[in-house]
Structure 1
């Protein structure tokens, strides 16, 4: 009888320990790339996106939460579904392809022999949010032409409100990255613009100056007709 009681007690302890070791399922999140227009053209400017660098604290799978005191905590019930760096790259790539209407967008490094018309370099130093904190993006971008010359650079800081839930926070961060892509596309269009070729046949004609009419000249008596020489053709103009 005592052995049976010990057996029941042991089974109860095992069940209690097993129940304590069960964790709630972890939700996986991905950035929302929006619905950019798929390029219909088969040709266009060759754009190289990258390198893209994220801050060190973003190089992890956990989804971080910004607190009111500025500290960061790990959301134990949520994680990124894969690499956040790769997720941001794909979002920017698809957004730029749709906004620039060119299918020729490559991720750096593109390999030897590739000469891009424009290179877009992006550095993100902050991308986070919290239950009581808005989504914030701090980034810098640089545009380099074919010769490696700087064609544009900007530091930006963007904020986006949300409803507090993790899903709402991820959606807000996605919208910030889409706004970044919009600014990149606007600057890229300016950098890729080819100056209009001057057309020498389309010169601007100066307006005629108004002059005082002169009095009519006296009539000139007609010249006597000239007889053409024999064997010579005479051209009159």
Structure 2
């Protein structure tokens, strides 16, 4: 005769729920860059066009990457970016520059066609990462173009910031690096605030250069004959 082992229903449910809990992963934490505490600009200030800002391909994803001791990158198991890292970088630099320059005329590219900047900032960020045992590192390069289209400054930047090791500390360190970049960039921009106005002729020449127009050739007057004993042509 077959006998059955009878267990309390509550005990059976506890075991089932325990197994189900082991198979469910905890959701990853979401992180954003820390922009610090930039103040509100109070003046019109100098006109700055920030961008285009190019960000390395490996940073254009929601995955939060970790730099390993051998230099490789792996996806973080406990965190990811809350949205676009590239957009976060743009907004952090915009607010920092506007505050440090005390200017409400700092715009992100592309912008309206009637906005004429005193300076355009071309910025390339080729590295921004960290790891549990690796400091946060930022590699970037900027070029500053004045209102005449001339390159006024070109600089390659390498910055590092130590951290406590956790994911939150790493993200905070990366935000600090971008704030330091904005500090250096604003110092390079300030001397270009009081540029002389561009003459109308220079503006037309720049417009022609942008459109690829060629200047008109000077017109040569036609020869007109003068009736004398010898036929002479006057030019």
Q: Same fold (TM over 0.5)?
A: yes
Cα distance, 1:23 vs. partner? 1.0
**Aligned match of 2:28:** 26
Query: Secondary structure of the equivalent of 1:53?
Result: strand
1:45-84, Cα deviation, whole Å (9 max, x unpaired): 2111111111111011011100000001111210111110
Residues 15 and 112 (structure 1 numbering): CA distance in 2 closer, same or farther, change over 3 Å?
same
1:167 corresponds to 2:168: yes
Q: How does 1:192-231 map to 2 (within 5 A)?
A: 192-194=193-195
**Unmatched segments (≥5 aa) in structure 1:** 196-237
1:80 corresponds to 2:84: no
**Unmatched segments (≥5 aa) in structure 2:** 197-235
**Aligned match of 2:114:** 113
RMSD: 2.3
Q: Which has the larger radius of gyration?
A: 1
**Aligned match of 1:220:** none
1:38 corresponds to 2:40: yes
**Aligned match of 2:90:** 89
Query: Secondary structure of the equivalent of 2:127?
Result: strand
Query: Secondary structure of the equivalent of 2:159?
Result: strand
**Aligned match of 1:231:** none
Q: Measure the CA separation in 2 of the matches of 1:103 and 1:162.
A: 33
Cα distance, 1:11 vs. partner? 7.3
Q: Measure the CA separation in 2 of the matches of 1:17 and 1:53.
A: 47
Q: How does 1:130-209 map to 2 (within 5 A)?
A: 130-194=131-195
Q: Measure the CA separation in 2 of the matches of 1:180 and 1:159.
A: 11
Cα distance, 1:117 vs. partner? 1.1
Q: Which moved more, 1:16-25 or 1:174-183?
A: 16-25
1:78-120, Cα deviation, whole Å (9 max, x unpaired): 0111110111111100110011011011110003232211111
Count of aligned positions: 193
**Aligned match of 2:55:** 54
1:29-60, Cα deviation, whole Å (9 max, x unpaired): 1111111221112x222111111111111011
Q: TM-score, normalised by structure 2?
A: 0.75
Query: Secondary structure of the equivalent of 2:115?
Result: coil
Q: Measure the CA separation in 2 of the matches of 1:47 and 1:38.
A: 16
Q: Measure the CA separation in 2 of the matches of 1:75 and 1:110.
A: 36
Cα distance, 1:193 vs. partner? 3.3
The list of structure 1 runs, each at least 4 consecutive aligned residues, that deviate by more than 3 angstroms after superposition, is 10-17
Q: TM-score, normalised by structure 1?
A: 0.74
